[in-house]
Structure 1
């Protein structure tokens, strides 16, 4: 086990088998994915989608620490399985929350958001890849002896809720402000970032059944401006 202030990595050191290696890798996925996204953001392409993907895990970690753990009260003191080398409390599983939440958000964006117009084969490949990468993470925590089934289940449920909230918040609140924010960045002191808006287009319709509710405010605002114009 490699402990740090904000994370820990568990891996067997004796009689290591194939699944020990595989599931140890899955235990590191919540750390490796943000690193990969950050490197791509720096060296390949700077876009809002990558920024939002990079911010998901830090935001969720803060919510867990500030809101959820305190809300659980004495339940948050639930100990890890006997023999675990991790000294911190195990309720809920942060690995499960991060992995399931990020996976759900990426799936929703692939099907209903950024990837809405992608070919079916591309959507299918992306969804299968996300599922294979993230879904085994919660089980890996039980396999490695760092979480109980209950801790993983609550962490996964927490991830589902936060993933849904993240999707709807970005799609229906933040996204509409991105075109203007992108233009300001291009014209301001941060123009060297060359940030592209691949997340939302002003003319694109919101992608779910909530679209009429979202478009209604926009339409009324446009009509109001037209009525006031000379």
Structure 2
């Protein structure tokens, strides 16, 4: 009976040399895109239903489809070090991890700078001292761990930076004007989809309204 070759799902399958503490740290850093997708976008969309965040996530998905299309078209091999990791069954140029993180970093920074939605300019510090360092460390981790060459991660970073900036411009120039219509649509009303990008300080707005509702007469009656 012929042996059927196996193919691994390598999304969270990150290897490093045993005993290498830096490699261990960078292996976890390499999983940051997964944490952002599951812990950040999925939970935020599920519990807040923000249109700006939804289109942020859509942009990341489009970016990853573009990445996969380029990879399959160019078909550039990963470095020889990848053979030892047993994950060379996919192409390497451009790096999808680097593309994801730099797309996320530039879009998040622009949201913070223009104070759109729940983000404010104060959160630029979060972008400068957390998001961008994570993006750079992710880029470095892919080379250090042997999954990509320097050229492959820089190609991914450059493409992610460009696509992130371009998608931000498209969303907030051409699509944002349709957010009210999406809110009032059957889809929007059914799933409680909302746009808060016109509110300068969303956290304060929600805080004030929550306190106001608690003190409202009808709220007290329902509580009784």
TM-score category by the smaller chain? Answer: 0.7 to 0.9
Q: Whole-Å Cα distance in 2 between the matches of residues 101 and 189 of structure 1?
A: 28
Change in Cα spacing, 1:65 to 1:200, as seen in structure 2 (3 Å) is farther
Give the 5 Å matches for 1:95-114: 95-114=97-116
1:135 is displaced (CA, Å) by: 2.6
TM-score, length basis structure 2 = 0.74
What SS class does the counterpart of residue 131 from structure 1 fall into? helix
Cα deviation, 1:63-119, whole Å, max 9, x if unaligned, reads 1223x3366x4xx3233332342121111101111111111111111102516983x
Aligned residue number for residue 42 of structure 2: 38
Aligned residue number for residue 196 of structure 1: 194
Q: Whole-Å Cα distance in 1 between the matches of residues 176 and 149 of structure 2?
A: 38
Q: Whole-Å Cα distance in 2 between the matches of residues 117 and 145 of structure 1?
A: 36
Q: Whole-Å Cα distance in 2 between the matches of residues 49 and 132 of structure 1?
A: 24
Q: Structure 1 unaligned runs (5+)? A: 202-230
Give the 5 Å matches for 1:130-149: 130-149=131-150
Residues 27, 145 of structure 2: 8 Å contact kept: yes
Aligned residue number for residue 162 of structure 1: 163
Q: Whole-Å Cα distance in 2 between the matches of residues 199 and 93 of structure 1?
A: 32
Cα deviation, 1:124-166, whole Å, max 9, x if unaligned, reads 2344332233231111101111001111111111111111111
What SS class does the counterpart of residue 48 from structure 2 fall into? coil
Aligned residue number for residue 93 of structure 1: 95
- The alignment's C-alpha RMSD in Å is 2.5
Change in Cα spacing, 1:124 to 1:77, as seen in structure 2 (3 Å) is closer
Give the 5 Å matches for 1:20-31: 20-31=23-34
Change in Cα spacing, 1:142 to 1:171, as seen in structure 2 (3 Å) is same
